[in-house]
Amino acid sequence: MVKYGGLALVKTIKTKLLIAGGGLASCLLAYRIKSLSSDFDFLVVEKDNQLGGNHNWSFHTTDISNSQLEWLSPLISYRWNEHNVVFPSYSRTIKKGYNTIASIDMHEKLMPLIDSHVLFNSSINYLNNKVAKLDDGTLIEADIIIDAMGYSPSEDISIAYQKFVGIEINLNKPHNLESPILMDASVEQTDGYRFIYTLPFTDKRLLVEDTRYSDNMQIDEEEYLAEIIKYMDNKGWQDYKIINREKGVLPIILNGNYSRFIDKEVEMIGMKALLCHPTTGYSLPHAVMIADLITDKLFNKSNEIAADIKQYSIQSWKRDEFFRMLNRMLFWGCEPAARYKILQRVYTLPESLIAKFYSRQYSFFEKIKMMIGMMDGFKPPIKISNALKAIYRNE
C-alpha cells in the first residue's frame, strides 16, 4: 500500500497468468512455460522466501511419458535404474527407474529462469478468477488465475494418512546401498502399515524415513527418530551427521464427493485439486501432466483453459476409483497390523503391473488380474467379507 497525502493507494499489478503458490505444481508449470516461451507474461506468488519448501519429490520413471521425462530431466537431482522392496515374507528388486527432485535444487535451477516472474514473501488472502489480494493490500489482476496453494482438508473428501519423518545424513564411510529401498516393511508394524524408505543420494549420503499408513495424523517426532536410528544401527549406519530433516502427512483418499469439492470459482492444480496418486499421496506425475496440458492450451490460444483443467481433474478422479477402493480395503477392511499384507501382495505382481499401479494406467482386465492376484491361492490378505464391506462403505 502506498500512502500519498493521507490517501492510501492500493498497488495494482497486471499479468496474463497468475499462479498462486510457489510449490511443486506451480514450479513445474512455470518451468514448462519458460522452456516454451521466453516472453510469456506470468507471475508466481509465494508466501515464503523460496520455491518448493523443504521436500524431496520422488517418482517412478514409468509414471510419466518419455517426452515428459525429457523436459523434466534438467530438474532431476538423483536417478537410479532399479529399486527394492522388503516384506516380512520376501524381498525383491524391481528393474525400473526411480528419480528424486530435491526442492533446494529446484529453487536454484528455476530462479535464474523465472526470477522476474516471482513475488516472494507475499501471502494471498483473497482470490477469485480475476483478481488476487495480498496481505499488504496489493491487488493482482490477471486474465487467468490458477490456485496451486497446496493441500487443504475438505468435508467433501474422506481421507486416511500417510505420515512420515525422515532424516538426511552424511556418513563417514560408504553405506554400500546401490539403489533405493522404497519399502522395508520387515520392521515392526505399529500404527498401521509401516515401512522404512531409504534413498542413497551419494555413496555416503542417505535419506531414511519412517512411514506409516495410519488412521490418524499425529506424529511423535522423537519416537520416529528413535526408530530410524534403531534401523540405521541394524544396517551398520552409525557414524554420521544429520544434515536435514523432513516431515509430512499426506492424505490417502478413501472416498468423496469430488464434483462438489472441485466446484470452485478459481481453477486448482496440484494438491489443492487433490491431483495425486490415491494410494501414495504423491503428486509429481500429475503436476507434470497438468503443466503439459496448461502450456498446450496457453500456446494454442485456447479459451477453454479453465474448463480443460476441470475436465482433467474430474476424469482423473473417475479413473482412480479402483485405487480408492484398494485404499478402503487397506484402511477399512484390514486390521492396522495386517495392512502390510495388501502391499506385500501388490509386489508379487509382474513388474509391468507394478509400474501400472504407480502410473494409474490399469485397463479393466488388469484391474481384474490385480484383484485375482491379491486373492491368489484363496488366501487373501484380508477376509473377503471385510473387503466387500470396506469397498461399498459410504462415508
List contacts with ligand FAD (CB under 6 A): 21-26, 45-48, 53, 55-59, 123-124, 148-150, 246, 248, 250, 270-272, 281-284
The answer for residues whose C-beta is within 8 angstroms of residue 191's C-beta and 6 or more apart is 212, 214, 336
Q: Got the DSSP string for 21-90?
A: --SHHHHHHHHHHHHH-TT--EEEE-SSSSSS-S-EEEEEGGGS-HHHHHHHGGG--EEES-EEEE-SS-
Residue 127 C-beta: closest distance to ligand FAD, Å: 8
Least distance (Å) between residue 377 CB and ligand FAD:
33
**Cα(93)–Cα(86) distance, rounded to whole angstroms?**
9
Q: Which residue is nearest to ligand FAD (CB)?
A: 23
In Å, what is the CA distance from 119 to each residue of 34, 46, 287? 16, 6, 21
Q: CA-to-CA distance for 212 and 52, rounded, in angstroms?
A: 24
- Which of 147/227 has CB closer to ligand FAD? 147
3-state SS, residue 120: coil
Nearer to ligand FAD, 99 or 341 (CB): 99
Closest distance between ligand FAD and the C-beta of residue 232, in Å? 19
Question: Phi and psi of 179, rounded to 5°?
Answer: -140, 160
d(Cα 36, Cα 71) in Å, to the nearest integer? Answer: 10
Q: Sign of the CA dihedral 350, 353, 357, 359? A: positive
Cell of 219: 506424529
Nearest distance from residue 210's CB to ligand FAD, in Å?
13
Instruction: Please give the C-alpha separations between residue 199 and each of 79, 130, 161, in angstroms, as whole numbers.
Output: 10, 43, 22
Q: Judged by CB, which is closer to ligand FAD: 248, or 373?
A: 248
CB of residue 22 to ligand FAD, shortest distance in Å = 5
Count of Cβ atoms closer than 10 Å to residue 220 Cβ: 10
Residues present in the chain in total: 395
Residue (146 or 325) nearer to ligand FAD, CB? 146
d(CA 9, CA 136): 12
Compare residues 45 and 334 and give the one whose CB is closer to ligand FAD.
45
Nearer to ligand FAD, 124 or 329 (CB): 124
Considering the complex, what minimum distance in angstroms separates the CB of residue 24 from ligand FAD?
3
Of 103 and 344, the one with the shorter C-beta distance to ligand FAD is 103
In the complex, the smallest distance separating the C-beta of residue 329 from ligand FAD, rounded to whole angstroms, is 22
CB of 120 to ligand FAD, least distance (A): 10
For residues 109 and 341, what is the distance between their CA atoms, to the nearest angstrom?
Answer: 41
Cβ nearer to ligand FAD, comparing 161 with 347: 161
